[in-house]
């Protein structure tokens, strides 16, 4: 059994079966998530290793680079293997390293989606996510733009990201939403209410920044102690806790390192016992 298979699987939108440990493709571009990677060949090798390890969910966005992440995915993996889900996002614009601006205008989202289609060299994006609500654009207009793209056959399923419970419910009143991508980890559980709704209704939940453990991972802390007891790393404990937290959880840790990639994938084999889970649940 491969490590990712050990973490279980989930079917998104009724027809997209994925292992519950994916790969986030933000870190394969340049510093500050800006520009091309410093070692292009190494990033192509990481992407190909993702597939050989059995991972069949890659999460990216047009704003990663911008565009370079999607282009690298194409260059490494096209023609894409059967069963691979490439999920991408639109709704952010970039002006430099570390700079992120929200743009949820319908015309921007259409242009971003069309650019992603070209860069990935696909006729339809299987999962297209609205990267974040834009405070300057009514949320229903942004979500409505994705509904139009879906109606035009350019995207298969729709996801939303960085949303409150009210925003998720508003989006679902406009279009079928199959995934949510919010920040969630051992030290930031603010989206627990959103996760609860996703679990209740069978929506996939992508926790971004999944490896964060903060003070809990310091020597003597609960994450460090549990990692030591299981001969694991704190990052593996953080991922194993997420996988155990909910059956709809789909962690997408990202890395530019082959060794770190292997470590992340191996986390799907780590089984935490009930006392471990209780200790971590109570830690934050």
| pTM, entire model | 0.97
Residues paired with 21 in a beta bridge: none
- Checking DSSP bridges between strand 204-208 and strand 16-19, what pairing results, if any? unpaired
Q: Which of 115, 57, 73 is nearest to 90 (CA)?
A: 115
Q: How far apart (Å, rounded) are the C-alpha atoms in residues 8 and 5?
A: 5
- Exactly one of 64, 78, 80, 139 is catalytic; which is it? 64
Rounded to an integer, the average pLDDT of 235-249 is 98
Told to judge if 139 belongs to the known catalytic residues of this protein, a careful annotator would answer no
Q: What percent of the chain has pLDDT over 90?
A: 97
pLDDT of 67 over the 80 cut = yes
- Residues across the chain: 284
Q: How far apart (Å, rounded) are the C-alpha atoms in residues 31 and 109?
A: 25
Rounded to an integer, the average pLDDT of 177-182 is 98
pLDDT of 284 over the 80 cut = no
Place 22 in a pLDDT band, splitting at 50, 70 and 90: very high
DSSP string, 77-133: HPSPPTT-EEEEEESEE-SSTT--EE---HHHHHHHHHHHHHHHT-SSEEEEEE---
Q: Quick: pLDDT tens for 183-202.
A: 999 999 999 999 999 999 99
Q: How many C-beta atoms surround the C-beta of residue 261 within 10 A? A: 21
pLDDT of 2 over the 60 cut = no
* Confidence (pLDDT) at 1: 42
Q: Give the mean pLDDT of the chain.
A: 97
Domains of the chain (ranges, CATH numbers): 15-210+247-255+264-270 (3.20.20.100)
Q: Quick: pLDDT tens for 76-101.
A: 999 999 999 999 999 999 999 999 99
Q: How far apart (Å, rounded) are the C-alpha atoms in residues 39 and 42?
A: 5
Rounded to an integer, the average pLDDT of 264-272 is 97
Which has more pLDDT, 12 or 4? Answer: 12
* Confidence (pLDDT) at 262: 98
């Amino acid at each position: 059994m491969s490590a990712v298979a050990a973490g279980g699987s989930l079917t998104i939108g009724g027809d997209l079966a994925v292992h519950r440990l994916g790969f986030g493709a933000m870190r394969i571009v340049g510093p500050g998530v800006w520009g091309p990677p410093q070692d292009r060949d190494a990033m192509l090798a990481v992407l190909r290793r993702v597939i050989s390890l059995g991972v069949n969910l890659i999460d990216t966005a047009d704003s990663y680079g911008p565009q370079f992440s999607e282009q690298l995915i194409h260059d490494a993996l096209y023609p894409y293997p059967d069963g691979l889900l490439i999920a991408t996002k639109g709704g952010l614009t970039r002006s430099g390293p570390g700079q992120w601006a929200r743009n949820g205008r319908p015309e921007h989202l259409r242009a971003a989606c069309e650019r992603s289609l070209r860069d990935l060299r696909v006729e339809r994006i299987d999962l297209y996510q609205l990267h974040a609500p834009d405070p300057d654009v009514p949320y229903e207009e942004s979500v409505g733009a994705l509904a139009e793209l879906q109606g035009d056959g350019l995207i298969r399923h729709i996801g939303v990201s960085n949303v409150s419970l009210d925003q998720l419910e508003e989006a679902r009143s406009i279009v079928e939403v199959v995934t949510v991508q919010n920040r969630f980890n051992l030290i930031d559980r603010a989206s627990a209410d959103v996760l609860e709704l996703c679990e209740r209704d069978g929506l996939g939940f992508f926790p971004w920044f999944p490896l964060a453990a903060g003070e809990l991972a310091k020597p003597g802390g609960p994450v460090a102690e549990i990692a030591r007891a299981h001969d694991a790393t704190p990052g593996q404990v953080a991922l194993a806790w997420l996988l155990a937290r909910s059956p709809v959880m789909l962690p997408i840790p990202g890395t530019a390192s082959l060794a770190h990639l292997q470590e992340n994938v191996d986390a799907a084999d780590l089984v935490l016992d009930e006392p471990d889970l209780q200790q971590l649940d109570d830690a934050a």
